Chains A and B, each alone.
Chain A
Amino acid sequence: MLSISDLSVWYNKGTNILDRVSFTIESNKATGLLGVNGAGKTTLINYLSSVHKHYEGTIQYEGKNIRVNDTVFKLSRYTVFTEEQAFGYWSFEDYVNFIHKTYKRSVDWAVINSLTQGFGFEQYKSYKIKDLSTGNKKKVFLITGFALRLPLLILDEPLDGLDFSSSEYLYKAINEYKEFGGILMSSHIAESFEKTCDAILLLQKGKITAKSFSGGMNIRSELAGWLHEND
């Protein structure tokens, strides 16, 4: 679905956070983005979300060369950032309506209700976002992302702030989402990869390596080997 070639990303010219990396994200699969703190996971996600300005490289979406800020690509992906406090004066209902109009989609309230129920969010739907707890704020954007059913959903550390039962539901939602599109997810929780991912992108020292990953594998035992492969 999405193919990136020779991508370099930087904050200060000459010091690349990502250095000529190439990788692909398959549709209808969940791809895990793995790396130690500061490896550049959020920077990569920011690039794919058009919020990082300093980059060079080529990007192909559905076989066509595009730019990351082209509307055609923007309309095909939605990002749930690790920390999000936008639209604090709106309620979840206001935000969901607005986002669906922006993405030119009609709101499927049956899907929304099912997701809010699953995440245990029903009672907070009409609260102002800024007044919600950290976990509930996260749920606003997660539910919106899942409800949009776009070809690509990007999740930056989606488990941050979620309680135990919501985390379990998130795994279920990710697995069900594969029917509609692909997911790119960064996380520091090994269990989240084991329970949802079909492929892993290992980010290390500015490079990305694709790792084969199949259900049932123990990522913790694999990880030690992966991280020391290049030493």
Chain B
Amino acid sequence: MTKVFLQDFITKDKIKWYGIAFILLGAFLYFFPLPHMTMVSTAGVIGIMVCFFPTMYTIYTYSVADNIRLYLSLPVKPRSVIFSFALSLFIVTLIERIAFVAVAIIFLYDNPLPVILFLIFSGAATVLINVAILLGVNTKQPVVCFIGAVLLVGLTLICTMLNGLVIQPTLVMLIGLLAALLLLRHDSLDLAIFRQSKKGKSRFHNYFFRVLLTEKIYLTNTLMVVLFAVVFLFLFAEQGNPVMMSVAWCVAAVNTPATTMISGDKWLARQSDMLPGCYKDIWGMYRRFLTIYFSTVNIIVLAACLIRSERVVPYMLMQFAAATSLEVYITVYLEKHKRIAGWQTKQQLWRNPRKYILPAIVFIVACGISMISEMI
């Protein structure tokens, strides 16, 4: 079963590209050495950070897909399915994230082996905790979710508060074992998210707003983007530094779920091709959604910019107008003409390099506006 899940998460082609990236990263760190580190616990915290949110995203989006329901009908022991799922997630995390950190550790630590092992242990424990939390959410068992959260906090505390080559890995392994025990309580059916039929009308008629407000992952992503842009402005944009302000506009443009709503729904993509075009068609509705969405996000960024610079600067208003209109226009263009296809999980879709086009353009335009205003 592990192989079956792995085929959904990763392709041989991707592994090849990751291999090339490892070599490039290694070569970079060899020729441009960074100061050496000694703290083993740093690796543990990095392990948790690089594993927690991406794995959570993958698990959630995969649990609502149809594939998993097909696999659950196979004659395989329920526990075997759950542990194969967790193992495949861990292998993917190992290849896609932990391996990169491990390459850096080789060049940053004098004795890298125990640090890498600690990184792997903490990553494995994080994946197990994540799966346990998901099963708790799917089966609506708040106690399981709470225990999962406690284990995660415990893991973070072990990695940050303690030190020692024996005690830390032992406790991390113990946490992982406890998370594995939580998994034993579940049936493999709990891996899939089944929703009950509901009646009732939403206040929003626009289909894309309904998706945004119904899918927690979309809403969470939006809040994270806004939060990150604002925090970034307050931490790094000293007294209206134009480059840092431009970075904030660029951050606000990165909401991959919102900008891939057509690519992310193959049925909707087919209807968008099939239906006749008019102001009230899918594209018109998507354009209206994006205009309201980006205007709202950018107004928050603009407000933060104005507070940070402590004066009203006309070029910021221009940046707001330019960013909003570009975000709407480019997103619709990309979704119409450069749609992302061939993805198997939403995580793969959201990591497609196309996501960098819009923020890069917004950054360049925002920088250009601030440069021109400086010259004037």
A residues touching B (Cβ–Cβ < 8 Å)? Answer: 49-51, 71, 74-75, 79, 81, 84-91, 94, 98-99, 101-104, 126-128, 130-132
Contacts and interface: CB of A to CB of B under 8 A. Distances in A.
A72 B344 CA distance: 35
Interface stretch (B98-106, B157-165, B184-192, B266-274): B266-274
> Size class of B's contact patch?
20 to 34
A126 B265 contact: no
Contact of B197 (A75, A84, A128): A128
Contacts of A101: 278, 280
A90 B210 contact: yes
Given A86-B265, A102-B281, A81 B198 contact: no
B196 interface: yes
B177 interface: no
A104 B207 CA distance: 19
Contact of A131 (B195, B207, B271, B275): B195
Nearest to B66: A85
Contact of A126 (B200, B214, B277): B200
Contacts of A75: 276
Given A86-B265, A90-B210, A50 B197 contact: no
Given A50-B273, A50-B274, A127-B199, A85 B280 contact: no
Nearest to B202: A89
Contact of B270 (A86, A88, A89, A90): A86
B315 to A, nearest CB: 39
A132 B197 contact: yes
B77 interface: no
Given A127-B197, A131-B197, A99 B275 contact: yes
B276 A102 contact: yes
A79 B207 contact: no
A131 B274 contact: no
A74 B270 contact: no
B201 interface: yes
A213 to B, nearest CB: 28
B205 interface: yes
B198 A127 contact: yes
A50 B214 CA distance: 30
